[in-house]
Structure 1
Amino acid sequence: MTNTQPSPLPLAAQTVLVTGAARGLGLHIAQAFLREGARVVVNYHRSAQAAQALAAQWPQQALAVQADVCDREAVQALVAQARQHFGTPISTVVNNALPSFQFNGDARAHADHLTWNHMQQQLEGAVRGALHTTQATLAGMRQLGLGRIVNIGTNLVQNPVVPYHDYTAAKAALLALTRTLAQDLGADGITVNMVSGGLLRTTDASAATPDAVFNLIAASTPLRRVTTPAELADAVLFFASPWARAITGQNLLVDGGLVKH
């Protein structure tokens, strides 16, 4: 039996939830969707001033909403508020929110000092957060007959060159969830994909990274430079766009060719 689906939504017709959208990579992702005409729910946890400033720049398209993605009820309330404000269900979710983390290998716990609390913090933010946003938006996507979920991963899963055990393990689990959700939700016209960057120059999380590390990465890539947050954000747009309508369960590495996969 042929599974016919509604025509995919152009970016300008989408209502997009970006978690952790007030700063860092999330800010670039939100700005990319806004630039293309989408309505964007600017989710934040503690960065109220930055989120509200972004929403003020795009008063017709952006809505700033506070919610901890680890709190199921808070996420459900966010989704309800967004639907009431924009008059349409959320069609696209970008799971970007990152628990507190600094990309500085010298400061991270190695195997002999790693604790389960380190692991749990990252698993809660990455996997539990993505589960909550998916479940909260699922009814609206099914009503639309389509949906796009884009999870933010890391190339460290394929190339674990630094001891970010907790962060990398959580992103690996999120990749597995990406693939199982893609299989589960495909019949509803919902695609689920991942965009995995390397070290980005520069976000709040990578501000602690020594220049020597950036230089080493740049020299190791075919493009001879470090990927920017804006470049990764453009790849997120691709998975949300009509051009990616037949792609699901995939992980796109956006790192200047550092990891070939």
Structure 2
Amino acid sequence: MTTEALPLDQQVVVVTGGARGLGAAITKTFLSQGARVVINYYTSKEAAEALAADYPGQALAIEADIRDRGAVDHLITTTTEHFGSVTTVINNALVDFVFNGDARPQAMQITYDALTRQFEGAVKGALNAIQAAHPGMKRTGFGRIINIGTNLFQHPVVPYHDYTAAKAALLSLTKTFADDLGPEGITVNMVSGGLLRTTDASAATPEAVFEGIAAGTPLRKVTTPDQLADATLFFASPWARGVTGQNLIVDGGLVKG
């Protein structure tokens, strides 16, 4: 038996990489709607604990390297013991990457090891989180999985080969997992942003790149982390109960269609 919809204020949400940048914006957005949120972190302990302290009883910071299945199992178990069964997973964590087009390895310089590092974070990390949370979601007949993607494989303003390939693979996983998990009341969707102004990862981006992207959008603005975070609420909310396997692009209209 499945639960078709669950109000946001009844959800238990795990945000991977939830302490800084886009992850922090997503964390705060769900907290603002009354959800109980676990802020997963790996190196950002101070930021995670400070954010959790702002929402006593509603937020909890838990360390886990998403590439380590044992650590992710512990993350989900601890969350369940503290808040109850996990209903919602936001696969946001970004492993060892900085958006600096001037410093990126170009096509004849990129190594397969660089691609592997990004696959470990984007694909293996998401796989670990989904599989660890799945038993609880299956048991309750409700689950919301939201993967964070990118618009770069539709519009490679800057060709970050490793990051883009990993996120493209995550989109494929989003669509195929949606098919397998749908009968259990679990939806799997993706929210894809472009360059965000500003996160730790995009802080190294030259101002000219921000200006060029803004000029190419109908809104004439670069998307903010808060704007992208707002869109993740839709896929978790009751209004998206009939939506799965989709990729919503949130970039001010830079990518069309």
> TM-score if structure 1 supplies the norm length?
0.97
Code of the aligned partner of 1:167: Y
Determine which of 188, 192, 200 is the counterpart of 1:196.
192
Unmatched tracts of structure 2, length 5 or more: none
Partner of 1:240: 236
| Aligned length in residues | 257
Following superposition of structure 1 onto structure 2, how do residues 165-180 of structure 1 map, counting pairs within 5 Å? 165-180=161-176
Partner of 2:91: 95
Following superposition of structure 1 onto structure 2, how do residues 1-261 of structure 1 map, counting pairs within 5 Å? 5-86=2-83, 88-261=84-257
Task: Give the distance between the partners of 1:163 and 1:193, measured in 2 at CA.
Answer: 24
- For residues 163-194 of structure 1, the C-alpha deviation after alignment (integer angstroms, 9 at most, x for no partner) is 20000000000000000000000000000000
Task: Give the distance between the partners of 1:83 and 1:110, measured in 2 at CA.
Answer: 44
Code of the aligned partner of 2:240: A
Shift of residue 5, structure 1, vs aligned partner: 3.1
Is the Cα contact below 8 Å between 2:152 and 2:159 reproduced in 1? Answer: no
Q: Which is worse superposed, 17-26 or 99-108?
A: 99-108
Task: Give the distance between the partners of 1:73 and 1:7, measured in 2 at CA.
Answer: 30
Q: What is the identity percentage for the equivalent residue pairs of Structure 1 and Structure 2?
A: 65
Shift of residue 100, structure 1, vs aligned partner: 1.2
Over the aligned positions, Cα root-mean-square deviation in angstroms equals 0.8
- For residues 85-106 of structure 1, the C-alpha deviation after alignment (integer angstroms, 9 at most, x for no partner) is 11x1100000000011111111
Task: Give the distance between the partners of 1:249 and 1:163, measured in 2 at CA.
Answer: 25
Is the Cα contact below 8 Å between 1:109 and 1:163 reproduced in 2? Answer: no
Shift of residue 7, structure 1, vs aligned partner: 3.8
Task: Give the distance between the partners of 2:78 and 2:57, measured in 1 at CA.
Answer: 15
Unmatched tracts of structure 1, length 5 or more: none
SS of equivalent residue, structure 1 residue 136 = helix
- The structure 1 segments of at least 4 consecutive aligned residues displaced by more than 3 Å after TM superposition are none
Code of the aligned partner of 2:71: A
Shift of residue 257, structure 1, vs aligned partner: 0.3
- For residues 133-188 of structure 1, the C-alpha deviation after alignment (integer angstroms, 9 at most, x for no partner) is 00000010011111000000000011123120000000000000000000000000
Task: Give the distance between the partners of 2:193 and 2:157, measured in 1 at CA.
Answer: 14
Shift of residue 117, structure 1, vs aligned partner: 1.2
SS of equivalent residue, structure 2 residue 110 = coil
Task: Give the distance between the partners of 1:112 and 1:219, measured in 2 at CA.
Answer: 30
